[in-house]
Structure 1
């Protein structure tokens, strides 16, 4: 099967800030790359020890929280959806609808770079569903199907 053409090779943090309403400490992606015409793309998160979750999760054994990976999947999907459809480029609220088939496979530690490989599995009006695989060094560390709705 042939891959769809790339629409956006790289979306930097400045464009993400113009696209999503999320801000620190809840903006959980640093950039999105290879957004394709089939509504797929890869969100990138550089995990650093200085992040707030590590104050309590867990101080002696820092593990990046799985729930934050799922939120980052939804944020990546939001960037892909908003930038890919004409007329939706302005900032919107993005609301979670569903999380299904969620699995956490390996812990993520400070120093890791997470790649959120997202692909659309359905769309109805302003509602989107994506399958996401979170990977570190090519190994899947988490996966889920996420659904979200774009709102004014």
Structure 2
């Protein structure tokens, strides 16, 4: 992550995340992004990007769009340390989806933080705990 941090202007000891939400339309994700930013701040992380895929109200099939795929690619390539999700149901609809996310995080040495983890609680971490270093004078 040090090369990506140097290229993006953040210090090598920072954790950079993207927020991802699914919204029924423009204007809806502002509160969800606010919650994601607050969660990142609680952990001392920097939100580098915010991504939204739009799903029409009443749409029953979870259809993760191009923005989700872009978020995953950025984390896989090291441009992000992890992803902050507002709700677990944003990217999982069943146990198999959840296990797929857990395995993805392990395979790519990254993490996802779920702000509203439902039965898993607030700030539910999936994957490795991000490590920050402190400069010693």
TM-score, shorter chain, exceeding 0.5: no
TM-score normalised according to structure 2 size: 0.28
Whichever structure has more helix as a proportion of its residues is: 2
The structure where strand makes up a greater share of residues is 1
TM-score, normalisation: structure 1 = 0.26
